[in-house]
Amino acid sequence: MKVILQRVSRASVDIESVEMQGTDLHNADAGDQHDAQPYHAAIGTGYVLLVGVADSDGEREVTWLAHKISHLRVFEDEQGKMNRSIHDVNGQVLSISQFTLFADVRRGNRPSFTTAGKPDHARRVWLAFNESLRTEGLTVQEGRFGAHMQIALVNDGPVTIVFDTEEIGL
């Protein structure tokens, strides 16, 4: 898995279009029907997480990342040191599935996304990751898997941290 964490003072996601990338709305199951509706979610202080999933990702990566992110100390304490976690500041998470984190730009001018997880697997893992964050005690707002989204955020600091479970040997 790859996660780009951005510490934010506020963030939101909006979906206005009913077009879902890679989703046949006529054959979508009942759980997907809400995806076709316009949507808005917003958070205050917290994290925007851009989440990419590979086919090899599963419970181990999900559990490790959720725990690490929920305990990461990147909010300032009274002395201005990054010493507080998202729990300490009553922060929230906005989680956005983003297969483009697996873009391969080594050849040509058009990125290849062949290393990104297959949609069904990626969606299951992303949703499991969000549930794992909730299990860690966090409030999690979500984008919509496969939707064209408009994300607005105010990166606070800026603080941006990259997690790549393959690079750390998970």
Residue 99 annotated among the catalytic residues of the structure: yes
Q: Active-site residue among 100, 135, 150, 160?
A: 100
Count the neighbouring beta carbons within 10 Å of the beta carbon of residue 90: 10
Known catalytic membership, residue 21: no
User: pLDDT, tens digit, for every residue of 6-62?
Assistant: 999 999 999 986 554 444 433 344 345 455 678 999 999 999 999 999 999 999 999
Residue 170's pLDDT band, with cuts at 50, 70 and 90, is confident
Instruction: Characterise 157 by phi-psi region: left (phi > 0), alpha (psi -120 to 50), beta (else).
Output: left
Q: Which of 6, 23, 92, 98 is catalytic?
A: 98
Task: Give the amino acid at 86.
Answer: I
98 is catalytic: yes
Please state the domain extents for the chain. Answer: 2-164
What is the rounded distance in angstroms from the CA atom of residue 41 to the CA atom of residue 19? 18
Catalytic residue among 23, 92, 99, 102: 99
pLDDT tens by residue, 46-73? 999 999 999 999 999 999 999 999 999 9
Residue 117: pLDDT over 50: yes
Q: Are 24 and 9 in contact (CB under 8 A)?
A: no
**Among the CATH numbers 1.10.150.650, 1.20.1250.20, 3.40.50.970, 3.50.80.10, which is that of 2-164?**
3.50.80.10
